[in-house]
């Protein structure tokens, strides 16, 4: 039974091992220049077939004299004779899965590799049937994210596995992290396996994003109008962009807790002593500590307050300067007419995804403060609902995926243990809440948090520390390092983890008119409900 189709032969196995990879000698008729790192191949052994990835391409010689005294290959006949015999192309292949050859093993599906193919086993390009056997076909729970290099076969992400754990999207600036995030958010929204809360720092995911040239990519609200609500932190910018927000977010002084100041320590340039003083103020004034602290304007009253709380004068001044920065934030007000968190929870409970646009408030102080504060309160409610469900008092809340950008600001080693985001990443959906972290500096994220991310989507990273961070603890780290280093700067990514059976290098789906149409034409998932999709890219 030929389950691999008519994929062309590339060469034969000549050496290798399970841990270091399989070495393949290319046939004389195969050009080494057609090979690429990240390409999928199959190896037909004596008892089973192997599915693997090319991790290195090289040139070899059977006669060392040829490397010292290169020959003249201007004669085409001589060139054909020597190529493939005296000199030849070589591949290094990382074996990933055993596909099997008999009917029983095929039905059982791909299995982990525990051995290697025998010498001179034939090596071929993976066929579309091979890729489908490994990644499955597009369905409600399997979302098409892209295509393998040099193939048009669809590679699908297992969304059911994806939403079970926190995940990460990494890549240097300009590599397409935002486009990838939009694609994955659209997939989760369609599948309805989870509901999303997106802290949209640069207003890219709600109504409309920014793109190259005159084309402006459509946001989730335009694609799924009734299933997405746009919350705005900056009404002026929203109106200027002709966005009609579903809710205007305001945060009251009484909602600010000491933990919010602690995570802002580096941004506000506060000393550790100043941060600890906030806890003293909270014990002294209760929930109204911020308003009470700001109300003390007279220098003599400030001195008495510092003495009463045993706060050194320099520490008091440092804290005062930091807190005054918060006073200037226009969305932070003494009294709020409506509870933003309660409104968000109402939407999430109904299965409506929420995108919070920050507008002009793209400074780190605003982003970190708002994201941390709202997430802490929402998570507290989810924890309460989950514990009630465990006691038989009501259903579990819908699985929630929280998307944050600049993730290293929340999850760096200094603060991750004290932030709600660090707790969520470590608990692995204990209370039905997970993270989707988007960052260009994964080396700035706590190693323990990185190790808990179930699936990592990596665009090009050119910093060695960042590469080491994302591949830490991954099987086949050295081979994947070479694959990651060879990614193109745009529309290519390496995905590995729980949501894919094996690491995969993708040419990512293009986010644009074609993608919008494919969403609307999907037979397996909930289509966009915007009415006429043809109007969306006019």
DSSP letter, residue 218: B
What pLDDT does 6 receive? Answer: 45
Q: Which residues contact 512 (CB under 8 A, 6 or more apart)?
A: 215, 217, 537
Which superfamily is assigned to 158-250+337-526 in CATH? P-loop containing nucleotide triphosphate hydrolases (3.40.50.300)
**Which residues does residue 229 pair with via DSSP β-bridges, in sequence order?**
354
Could you tell me which residues come within 8 angstroms of residue 19 by beta carbon, excluding any fewer than 6 positions away? none
CA–CA gap between residue 410 and residue 428 (Å, rounded): 17
- Beta strands 111-112 and 87-98 are antiparallel
Per-residue pLDDT of the chain (538 residues; tens, 9 = 90+): 334 444 589 999 999 999 889 999 999 888 899 998 999 999 999 888 999 999 999 988 877 666 665 666 665 655 665 665 677 889 999 999 998 665 444 455 788 889 999 999 999 999 888 898 899 989 889 999 999 988 888 999 999 999 999 999 999 998 989 999 999 999 999 999 999 999 999 999 998 888 766 678 899 999 998 999 999 999 889 888 888 999 999 999 999 999 899 889 989 999 999 999 999 999 999 999 999 999 988 889 999 999 988 999 999 999 999 999 999 999 999 888 889 999 999 999 999 999 999 999 989 999 999 999 999 999 999 999 999 999 888 888 999 999 999 999 889 888 887 789 999 988 878 899 999 999 999 999 999 999 999 999 999 998 999 999 999 888 888 889 989 988 998 899 999 999 999 999 999 999 888 888 888 766 554 555 544 444 433 3
Annotated domain spans of the chain: 9-135, 158-250+337-526, 253-327
Largest interatomic CA distance in the chain: 97
Q: What is the pLDDT of residue 522?
A: 61
Distance (Å, whole) CA 467 – CA 431: 31
User: So what's the pLDDT on residue 274?
Assistant: 94
Phi first, then psi: give them for residue 275, nearest 5 degrees: -65, -40
Task: Give alpha helix (H) positions in 177-312.
Answer: 177-191, 220-223, 235-240, 258-263, 265-268, 272-285, 289-295, 299-308
CA–CA separation, 67 and 475 (whole Å): 35
Q: How much is the pLDDT for 504?
A: 93
Nearest by Cα to 230 from 183, 382, 351, 222:
222
- Distance set, CA 382 to CA 304, 349, 377, 378, 432 (Å): 42, 10, 9, 6, 7
What is the predicted pLDDT for the residue at 473? 82
Distance spanning both ends of the chain, measured CA to CA: 49
Task: State the DSSP H helix or E strand holding residue 421, giving kind and residue range, or none if neither.
Answer: helix 420-427
């Amino acid at each position: 039974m030929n389950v691999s189709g008519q994929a062309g032969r590339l060469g034969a196995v000549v050496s290798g091992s399970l841990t270091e990879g399989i070495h393949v000698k290319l046939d004389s008729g195969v050009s080494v220049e057609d090979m690429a790192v990240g390409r999928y191949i199959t190896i037909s052994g004596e008892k089973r077939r192997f599915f693997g990835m090319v991790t290195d391409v090289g040139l070899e010689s059977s006669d060392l004299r040829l490397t010292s005294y290169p020959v003249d290959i201007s004669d085409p006949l001589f060139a054909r004779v020597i190529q493939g015999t005296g000199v030849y192309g070589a591949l290094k292949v990382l074996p990933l899965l055993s596909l099997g050859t008999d009917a029983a093993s095929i039905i059982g599906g791909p299995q982990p590799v525990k051995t290697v193919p025998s010498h001179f086993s034939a090596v071929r390009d993976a066929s579309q049937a091979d890729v489908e056997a490994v990644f499955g076909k597009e369905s409600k729970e399997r979302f098409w994210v892209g295509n393998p290099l040099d193939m048009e076969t669809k590679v699908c992400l297992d969304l059911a596995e994806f939403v079970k754990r926190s995940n990460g999207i990494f890549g240097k600036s300009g590599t397409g992290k935002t486009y990838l995030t939009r694609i994955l958010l659209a997939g989760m929204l369609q599948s309805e396996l989870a509901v999303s809360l997106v802290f949209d720092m640069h207003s890219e995911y709600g109504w409309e994003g920014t793109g190259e040239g005159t084309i402006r990519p459509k946001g989730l609200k335009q694609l799924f109008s009734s299933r997405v609500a746009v919350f705005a932190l900056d009404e002026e910018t929203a109106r200027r962009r002709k966005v009609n927000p579903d809710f205007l977010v305001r945060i009251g002084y009484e909602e600010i807790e000491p933990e919010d100041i602690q995570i802002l320590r580096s941004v506000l340039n506060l000393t550790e002593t100043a941060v600890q003083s906030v806890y003293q103020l909270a014990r002294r004034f209760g929930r109204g500590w911020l308003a009470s602290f700001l109300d003390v304007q007279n220098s003599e009253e400030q001195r008495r307050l510092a003495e009463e709380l045993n706060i050194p004068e320099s520490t008091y001044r440092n804290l005062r300067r930091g807190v005054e920065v918060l006073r200037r934030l226009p969305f932070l007000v003494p009294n709020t007419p409506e509870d933003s968190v309660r409104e968000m929870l109402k939407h999430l409970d109904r299965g409506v995804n929420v995108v919070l646009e920050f507008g002009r408030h793209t400074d780190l102080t605003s982003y970190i403060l708002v994201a941390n504060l709202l997430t802490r309160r929402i998570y507290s409610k989810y924890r309460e609902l989950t514990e009630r469900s465990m006691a038989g008092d009501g259903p579990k809340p819908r699985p929630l995926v929280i998307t944050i950008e600049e993730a290293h600001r929340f999850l760096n080693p200094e603060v991750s243990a004290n932030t709600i985001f660090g707790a969520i990443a470590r608990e692995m959906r204990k209370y039905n809440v997970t993270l989707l972290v988007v960052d260009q500096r994964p080396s700035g994220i706590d190693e323990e948090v990185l190790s808990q991310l179930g699936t990592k989507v990596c665009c090009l990273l050119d910093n060695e520390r960042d590469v080491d961070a994302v591949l830490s603890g991954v099987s086949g780290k050295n081979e994947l390092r070479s694959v990651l280093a060879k990614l193109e700067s745009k529309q290519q990514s390496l995905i590995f983890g729980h949501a894919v059976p094996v690491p995969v290098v993708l040419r990512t789906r293009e986010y644009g008119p074609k993608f919008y149409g494919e969403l609307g034409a999907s037979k397996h998932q909930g289509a966009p409900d915007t009415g006429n999709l043809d109007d969306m890219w006019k």
